[in-house]
Amino acid sequence: MRELIIVGAGPAGITAAVYAARKKIDFMLVTEDIGGQTLLSSDVENYTGYQFITGQDLVAKFEEHLKQFGVEAKTGEPAVRILQAKDGSFTVETKKAAYQAKAVIVASGRRPRWLDAAGEEALRNKGVSYCATCDGPLFSKKHVAVIGGGNSALDAALQMMHIATFVYLIDINPELGGDPIMREKVMAAANAKIFNSAVTKEIRGSQFVEGIRFEQNGVSRDLDVQGVFVEIGSIPNSDIIDFVAKNENGEIIIDNINSTNIAGIFAAGDVTDVPEKQIIVAAGEGAKAVLGVSRYLYKSGA
């Protein structure tokens, strides 16, 4: 029985681990990867102390910091579910083992939302991507479609306009959302075309993506593309715990010291209902969560 298990090692989980180590809390880290969504960011310009750093370099710095403390980390071993025992302690189950602790910090972040169009699942990683920053270079001189109309879709379209020959932006809404500056850049591009009120129905292809089919004002249309970037937002990785209160978006509800409605379960970062989804915010929330846990362990006499 440890004092604490931290689930997830994005900015929130890594910062929590650094704070827990410095507080000499007996803890372990259970995570799918080290870095989380920050690995997907090609340029981070809003993390204090770095005017510019790539997401991967920032994660390398985080990891270096973590290594100083010799943290027990189960990487590549995602939590499958978290259970509560009658004595108030918790079990974090993975496919390999079950770990027990008096407190848990859920810092499992978010994952991309799927389109749920025909062909999407079969062609994932065969032309269907959820990260232009990561996979964009694979589509040099090809035709691609970006699905979505918010900031992440606009960002993907802007990136792809410099890499691909032509970019189609397929937006379900009648007008693009996102920041006006980004919108204007996409609308002015010579190698981009926007389809509004367009519902993507199918991603076509036998082995790799060959095209998409969408409906616009009741008319079915086909485009030949070799890549499809799905940029329609993300969902919280909160399904591993079903006994804490969540909001209508599935985000874990926390108070200002990162407690949930269940004593001993804390949460931090993008998996929570804190509205700002940013690296520096997630890192700060991870720190706050450990300070909350430390008080909780002290009060409960652990």
Check binding of 11 to ligand FAD (CB under 6 A): yes
Active site residue 135: yes
**Terminus-to-terminus CA distance in the chain, angstroms?**
11
DSSP 241: -
Report long-range pairs for 50-55 (Cβ below 8 Å, ≥24 apart).
55/133
Shortest gap between Cβ of 115 and ligand FAD (angstroms)? 16
CA atoms lying within 13 Å on the CB side of residue 79: 30
Is 232 a binding residue for ligand FAD by CB under 6 A? The answer is no
Question: Judged by CB under 6 A, which of 20, 21, 82, 110 binds ligand FAD?
Answer: 110
Residue number, 61 or 221, with CB nearest to ligand FAD: 61
Q: Is 270 considered catalytic here? A: no
Q: Does residue 294 contact residue 25 with C-beta atoms inside 8 Å?
A: yes
Quick check: 78 binds ligand FAD (CB under 6 A)?
A: yes
DSSP H stretches of helix in the chain: 11-22, 55-67, 132-135, 151-161, 180-188, 279-299
Interaction of residue 129 with ligand FAD, rule CB under 6 A: no
Total number of residues that touch ligand FAD (CB under 6 A): 35
Interaction between residue 136 and ligand FAD (CB under 6 A): no
Site string for ligand FAD, 14-43 (x = CB under 6 A): ----------------xxxx--xxx-xx--
Which residues does 124 contact at the CB level (< 8 Å), separation at least 6? none
Told to judge if 116 belongs to the known catalytic residues of this protein, a careful annotator would answer no
User: How near is the Cβ of 118 to ligand FAD at its closest, in Å?
Assistant: 25
Q: What positions carry a catalytic annotation?
A: 131, 134-135
